[in-house]
Amino acid sequence: MMRIWLKMVTVGLLTVSFSSLAKVEVNLKDDVNVLVINGEEVGFRLKKLSTLQLDNGFNQIVVRVAKLVTRYGEYEKFNSDPVVISFNAADQKLDVGVEDSINTVEQAEAFNQNSAFIIQSAKGIDYKQDKLPLLGGISRDYAKELNAYNRKNDITVAGAAQTALNNNTVQSNTQSAPVRVNSTAVEMVRYWYNEAGKNEQKAFEDWAFSNRVEVKQPLISDSKPLEMLAYWYAKADKADKSSILSWLLNK
């Protein structure tokens, strides 16, 4: 298991007084998605959670890179291996990101070999990061995997985190706001996607992202799920296509 202890280097002085910060503010850079905050799974959101407000002291988040990357001029979805980051902080702002650009499949695969995130702060801070071990099963349960990781490493996370997005503060121990499904097209795409096999899902994802603005080329297949996915995606308006692609990107 990758196990990294890093010591942060001071990157500059903040222009605000730390005494005015009651909590730890964590800013997630573009393409960095948070999956779990102090044991509480975030769940699906139409807009990525970009700012977290955490209590002072020990905190733990699970993050991954989620973005579109190119292969031979075509776009495909990349979700990196999830990484758990544990740190102690008080009254400061942190930025979580990656050091190198990830724009191609080759760069994405290279990142997954190391999966190292960086935290920048005006204060020095010790943090530890590991790839989150997979427990097995058809789908991943990040909260359960994190719980197993903490038991193995004798880590205790006390209390739930408080998160904020666009100045709207919610408690992380409540469920995420439900996805607003505002059209039959979105509902049917989600239904037929779940009916499709893994290869069919991959084929639809590649096709949908290649036709993310408008459908310029048909998806020809003898598969009933793929036929229906293509039909309902073509019926979706611009906003619904964006909702579908966001849903796919976060799966």
Handedness of CA 18, 12, 85, 42 (dihedral sign): positive
Chain Cα centroid distance, residue 237: 25
pLDDT level of residue 45 (50, 70, 90 thresholds): low
For residue 11, pLDDT beyond 80? no
| Burial of 170 (C-beta count, 10 Å sphere; 0-12/13-18/19+) | middle
DSSP assignment letter at 211: T
What is the average per-residue pLDDT within 152-177?
51
pLDDT at 164: 44
- pLDDT tens readout for residues 74-101: 888 899 999 999 999 999 999 999 988 9
Cα(146)–Cα(23) distance, integer angstroms: 23
Supply the mean pLDDT for the chain: 80
Query: 3-state class of 74 per DSSP?
Result: strand
pLDDT at 177: 37
For residue 35, pLDDT beyond 60? yes
Q: Residue 49: beta bridge partners?
A: none
Token pair 């997954």 in the structure block, residue: 112
DSSP run (H or E) holding 85: strand 83-89
Q: Which residue has the higher pLDDT, 148 or 138?
A: 148
User: What is the number of residues in the chain?
Assistant: 251
Closest residue by Cα to residue 131 from 144, 105, 113: 113
pLDDT at 18: 39
What Rg value do the Cα atoms of the chain yield, rounded?
Answer: 20
pLDDT level of residue 220 (50, 70, 90 thresholds): confident
pLDDT level of residue 149 (50, 70, 90 thresholds): very high
Residues 6+ apart with CB under 8 A from 36: 42, 60, 61, 62, 84, 142, 143, 146
For residue 10, pLDDT beyond 60? no
Q: Which residue has the higher pLDDT, 79 or 182?
A: 79
pLDDT at 155: 85
Least trusted range by pLDDT, from 20-24, 113-117, 161-165, 236-240:
161-165
pLDDT level of residue 245 (50, 70, 90 thresholds): confident
pLDDT level of residue 187 (50, 70, 90 thresholds): confident
